[in-house]
């Protein structure tokens, strides 16, 4: 499966390979360390965030977005409803 952006696909493949290796060779054998793929994950995450921002999709993942969206929805669609 490709990433949200072609620019991130190689990073995703590298991270997926690292994660699958860690999962099968360490986690399933009882080793709980999770730092093996941290650097790859952070690099991939930064790429995905940049792609989301470029596509104007990042705001939906920022803290407080849901509350702001709900407040805006309530004020526009229910403004004439006196019961609200």
DSSP secondary structure string for all residues of the chain = ---SSGGGHHHHHHHHHHHHHHHHHTGGGT----GGGHHHHHHHHHHHHHHHHHTT-GGGGSTTHHHHHHHHHHHHHSTT-TT-
pLDDT of residue 81: 43
Whether the CB-CB separation of 33 and 73 falls below 8 Å is answered with: no
Can you tell me the distance from the alpha carbon of 51 to that of 55, in angstroms, rounded to the nearest whole number? Answer: 6
pLDDT band for position 76 (cuts 50, 70, 90): very low
pLDDT of residue 67: 56
User: Residue 20: is its pLDDT beyond 70?
Assistant: yes
Domain range summary for the chain, segments of one domain joined by +: 6-77
Mean pLDDT of 59-83: 52
Mean pLDDT of 59-68: 58
């Amino acid at each position: 499966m490709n990433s949200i952006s072609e620019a991130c696909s190689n990073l995703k493949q590298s991270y997926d390979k690292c994660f699958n290796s860690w999962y099968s060779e360490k986690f399933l054998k009882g080793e709980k360390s999770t730092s093996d793929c941290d650097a790859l994950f952070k690099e991939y995450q930064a790429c995905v965030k940049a792609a989301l921002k470029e596509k104007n999709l990042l705001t939906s993942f920022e803290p407080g977005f849901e509350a702001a969206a709900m407040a805006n929805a309530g004020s526009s669609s229910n403004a004439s409803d006196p019961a609200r």
